[in-house]
Amino acid sequence: MQTISENRCFGGIQGVYRHDSAACSCPMTFGVYLPPQARTGSVPVLWYLSGLTCTHENAMVKAGAQAWAARAGMALVFPDTSPRGPDVPDDEAYDLGQGAGFYVNATQSPWSTHFRMWDYVAEELPRIVTANFPIDEERQAITGHSMGGHGALTLAMGQPERFRSVSAFAPIAHPARSDWGRKQLSAYLGERESAWALHDATLQMQARGFDGEVLIDQGTEDQFLDLLMPQALAEAMAARRQPGAFRLQQGYDHSYFFVASFMRDHVEFHARALDLI
């Protein structure tokens, strides 16, 4: 693992690191924030998955999460959204290829060699993080924005033994029925829609739900509401009587101004689940 940078931040350290990924068959970059409490022992961790076109850096510099994580005594991990590099397949469209991994293991050419983001976030990167940083692997939570909200929800429901809590900001809630999803899932996983179900938060909520609390924030002025389909997930949560909350935030759009406005709520939500407050 190579250290790219480390900066003092709210009494802790915000670092950026690179490693050669076996899952993605290319170098991958990620960020880790260690709160000041990590100097004296292991700390719980909140994973943050970013959205379309983002890298590890967007949430790291725009979401304002470090201030609240430092107060709670919680580490943050910011993975990248896809494999990258000159040998990694890409597409001219912003919503497919590099920057748009959708947190799935691609099975279709030309994506299948590198686009194994489920394995990367579910297995490989956690091993690297827990081996190199003072992380309490028994206390983990996950959140994300947009495509990352989709990833956070599906990973949490797909790995119920790993995460104590899950939240999302404006997630792509029903990709199997949305243009933000059908295009990407068919490209990465093929045309057989049954293979998409594990990567659709609404379908997973209907099938299994989450053994813990869920927090969803969605802006009412989000310019992508038709693509996100939040009503489908809200209805699935209500039908299952899923513990947690689905909140509509009046006047907010899809930007990081929205994410930053409610980041404290999300960090404190996870801090309670992780026995920090």
- The yes-or-no answer on residue 82 being catalytic is no
Q: Which of 56, 114, 199, 254 is catalytic?
A: 254
Q: Which of 21, 50, 82, 146 is catalytic?
A: 146
- The yes-or-no answer on residue 174 being catalytic is no
- The yes-or-no answer on residue 145 being catalytic is no
**What sign for the dihedral angle of Cα 267, 42, 147, 83?**
positive
- The per-type count for the chain, helices as H runs and strands as E runs, is 10, 9
Cβ neighbours of residue 85 closer than 8 Å, sequence gap 6 or more: 26, 27
Give alpha helix (H) positions in the chain: 57-62, 65-72, 117-119, 125-132, 147-158, 179-189, 201-207, 225-228, 230-240, 256-273
Residue whose token pair is 């949490």: 156
How far apart, in whole angstroms, are the C-alpha atoms of residue 144 and residue 213?
15
Q: Which of 80, 200, 217, 222 is catalytic?
A: 222
Residue whose token pair is 């279709």: 108
Residues annotated as catalytic (active site), given as ranges: 146, 222, 254
